[in-house]
Chain A
Amino acid sequence: MRYAMAVDTLKCVGCNDCVVACQTENNVPIGYCRDWIVEKTTGSYPELQLEIRSERCNHCANAPCVRTCPTEASHYAEGGIVLVEESECIGCKACITSCPYDARFIHPEGYVDKCTFCIHRVEKGQDPACVAVCPTHCMIFGDLDDPNSDISRAMATRKWKSLIPEAGTDPKVFYLI
């Protein structure tokens, strides 16, 4: 089992539904977010290109946050989902500085928090909240080890990229382009 997510940049309109859904589903404190929208504009008027991406923790297979954590609070859960165990986190912030995506933050209660791929929903067979609410169905969540899963098919038939693969983190969030 290797959970992954693909975001179709050609379908994403940047409506922020995923951001709000995540904040509601996971009770993210006000002023914080576990996922966010990036709009990348390339070129100069009138020759412009626009790419819209919904970003979050990349649940890297070679996660620097797991490596640098001194207490094993950051760990790989089932399917390669990277999680933080609140009761083991000392708040040293090594994982935050080790993340090239700046996907982590300090929860007001002191421990480090970030996207969980909504593991509590995934365990019940549901999609993560952001995927479930997306009005354009631009996000696909699934198992890369299953060749018939929607995500495996999308990755096989579409061109895709991941973010900063040169950082060597082996990210598991992909962007269909």
Chain B
Amino acid sequence: MIEEIITSGRMNPEIDPILHVWGWEIPFYLFLGGISAGILIFSAYFTLRNRQDELPVAVKWMPLAVPFLIGIGLIALLLDLSHVLYFWQLFTNIRWESPMSWGAWTLAIIMPLSIAWIATWIEDIFPNWDWKFDEAKAVVNWLKDQRRIMAQVLILLSVILGMYTGILLSAFNARPFWNTSILGPLFLTSGLSASAALVSYFSKTAVEKRLFTRIDIILIAIELFMIIHLFMGHLAGTQVHIQAAKMFLGGPFTVPFWVFVVGLGLILPVILEVLELKHKFVPAIVPVVLIVTGNIMLRFIVVNAGQASRWLY
């Protein structure tokens, strides 16, 4: 038997007895950032493939949501900062080793870039749109000529945005559950999957619906594969990693994770999507709601489980 007690009664708020410095703000932002990254990647990619007229929802309509999603995400991030009046310090430094610094700079660039991206499409979406000023019109016309370059930059930045949220967590070696490099790709895939589901829900044409349903099925399959790898990696790791995995294999996170994230958030919607492709009747709202809810839950569970896992000494 080993018993270890802090006899001086360390009870620092939010640190003891279980670390809980990150509440709802961080996972909520991770969700919004992931979905924004997914939307921008699809929009930019299919622009580069010259399929903007065939896939209008993915390329032209969905990016409209991005500045709002990122904006809400930024508000959540600011709410999380406990010394918020100093937030500008993020932009007086570039710290290559800190994923949070990467994220701050990526967000600072991607926010205006996504607005510029929307501006190049707005006349396609709203035929009666009037820029009012000739200068604005000239700028937008110039931007339209730069679409290919913008698309390439957007893909790069969106991949960073989608990945860094996972890398941010996996950089914390002190929290064994997060300390796996698969979290970055997992969050990117899950963000892409949620945005593919949203595109296929909102699209009006059968071509676009079927394409994005198919993409989503592949992405969910990759996600399931990565989740298996996540646990294989942990179970083949050190004692603390094994203990972290056991929180999901019989521990407190077992039911929320396997039932709600994997069962209702991945496996059930993927079955429904396959049925959809086979022309069986499935209410279109059901898979998309399941996938988005699963997406949010994945991030809440990962953020909470990471904080609950620790080194023992």
Contacts and interface: CB of A to CB of B under 8 A. Distances in A.
Given A87-B86, A91-B81, A105-B12, 4 more contacts: A19-B8, A70-B95, A70-B98, A110-B84
Given A94-B100, A97-B21, A72 B93 contact: yes
Interface string A108-124: 01110000000000000
Interface string B1-28: 1111111111111111001011000000
A164 B51 CA distance: 54
Interface of A: 14, 16, 19, 31-33, 35-44, 64, 67-73, 86-94, 96-100, 102, 104-106, 109-111, 163-164, 166-168
B130 to A, nearest CB: 41
B25 to A, nearest CB: 11
Interface of B: 1-16, 19, 21-22, 80-84, 86-87, 89-90, 92-93, 95, 97-101, 104, 168, 171-175, 238, 306-307, 310-311, 313
A102 B83 contact: no
A97 to B, nearest CB: 5
Given A40-B2, A71-B95, A90 B12 contact: no
Nearest to A41: B3
A91 B8 contact: no
Contact of B171 (A33, A68, A73, A104): A68
A106 B82 contact: yes
A149 B2 CA distance: 35
Contact of A93 (B12, B82, B311): B82
A41 to B, nearest CB: 4
A97 B100 CA distance: 13
Nearest first, the 10 A-B pairs at minimum CB distance are: A91-B82, A91-B83, A110-B83, A100-B174, A70-B101, A36-B10, A70-B100, A105-B12, A37-B8, A71-B89
B22 A33 contact: no
A34 B174 CA distance: 19
B13 A70 contact: no
A92 to B, nearest CB: 6
A105 B13 contact: yes
A29 to B, nearest CB: 10
Contact of A14 (B7, B87, B173, B307): B7
Contact of A105 (B14, B83, B311): B14
